[in-house]
Structure 1
Amino acid sequence: MNNRGTGFPRADAEHDFLRARRRQVLSRLAKWLRGEPDDVNIMLPFNEVVDALGYVSERRIGLRVISLDSIVGSVDRGRDFDRRFRPTSGRVRERWERLALAARRGEEIPPIEVYRVGELHFIIDGHHRVSVAHAQGLSTIEAQVIVVRTKLDPSGIRFRGDLIVKDYRRLFLERVPLTGHARASVIVSDPWDYALLGEHVEAWGFRLMQDEGRYCDRASVAQRWFDEEFTPVVGMLRQADMIGTRTDAEAYMWVASERYRLIRTHRWDDEVIEAVRSRKR
């Protein structure tokens, strides 16, 4: 335990709670002074995260020791604690101090229960225990772990606002089911661009089926669009030094939109690239 005590466990437990509350209030003030978004200090809601990523399956793996810093959210207690599990009011004080006193006395504390999504953990049961562990300077805690598999990789999720990007990307990949390298290559920053890109690929697939006079399923359209349209165009843009600070997909969307606006064509050749380059912003 990193926080030294006075030798009076009950008084120390009370001081632990008051210290945690003070830190939470100061953190809110600092956030306001820095003009940070509202979701910086809000723990991630498990159900929203899994909905955005797409639930696949779950399995219980039993007792593990996990890092307190990996616990970023909760199933249902987001209002009582902030992102660092500091109490947001005096509402939890009685139970909190009881657990802090037990910890100060060296009594056995039951493990918490969590969902694991990637490297992130979400509390099912044990919010007060995690809060006390943080306040007393611990870095790990014992937990019963249930691993949840999702369609999308949860990496990159830090705040609640990041879920919007994941949700739009999941919907895009349902419409355009890319796999492997292709899946990893098509990335945009603005969530709305996934919807626009999905429409673009579907339109491309419709023209492909018209030209060939046969039906292609979504997976076939997605792969052919990547191989026959996206990859060659991105290659031309790289040669023409027209990617800039955009992702490959963002550069592709920009030049495809400009191409049709300028010369009303769906073809790609040097004339198209030069026409777009001349209007490059």
Structure 2
Amino acid sequence: MRAQPVKGFGVVSKKLNLSNRAYRGIHAIQVKNIVGSVGRVQDLLSGFKLKNPDVRYYRLRKIMEKGDVVPPIIVYKVGNEYYVLDGNHRVAIAKELGVEFIDAEVIEFFPSERKESRTLRKKRIEFENLTGLKGIDLTEPRHYDTFINYIHDYAQRMELFLKRKVAINEAALNWFLSVYTPAVQCIVEKGLEDVYQGKTLGDIFCFILDYKWYKSQKEGYDIGFDNAMQGFIEEILGKDEPEEKKSLIEKFEGLLEEVLPWIKKE
């Protein structure tokens, strides 16, 4: 049987207009259903073989040959197919060894019926081209600018820690895995999607970043993302007005307008 070429998630996402997503947790998935990669297709040959196996590949291969446990990969699910965001080495080895199942953290994508404005589409394309991140759906153009600014700051912190130059797409992927994905999991667990109907997970994440900026300005120091997340949940979602309750979105926008007069509804 002829080996199949590796599919690119970006191509599939654009074709199917994939922008709605749902976090599915960690599951054992069938290796044969892993058909593509997110942003790494150029590094893979047909059949999901690495073009240039490196030291890490051979080290992981020895571990997997012995049957030792490796961390779950991270995949985007589209229908019955999976696209690897993190774990291309592990998948290449699993396919070569004939492994039937592999543990994966699954994020499922669905087509969106919402039509983008020209400005929003332009911002999304600019964001994807700069960072290499696909499928982050936002409803306001300014939110893509917020993400880019935050990723640039994150890259600078990585450079200080690693003492070397860090490319923006490297920082973006690291940020996505270590900051954005855990935050989105928390947003889902707290039920914020139900509160902010019509807004995406990315929008809600941006609301938390705005809250972080506001609180940091007020306190005179950077309160950090974890504190901002907790404060956002407690202060914004924990207050109900006994008479004539405002919607939570109205309360949040009112808070921001005190310190962010440049915010405009798109």
Q: Smaller-chain TM-score range? A: 0.3 to 0.5
Asked which structure has the greater CA Rg, the reply is 1
TM-score (norm 2): 0.40
TM-score (norm 1): 0.38
Structure having greater relative contact order (Cα 8 Å, sep ≥ 6):
1
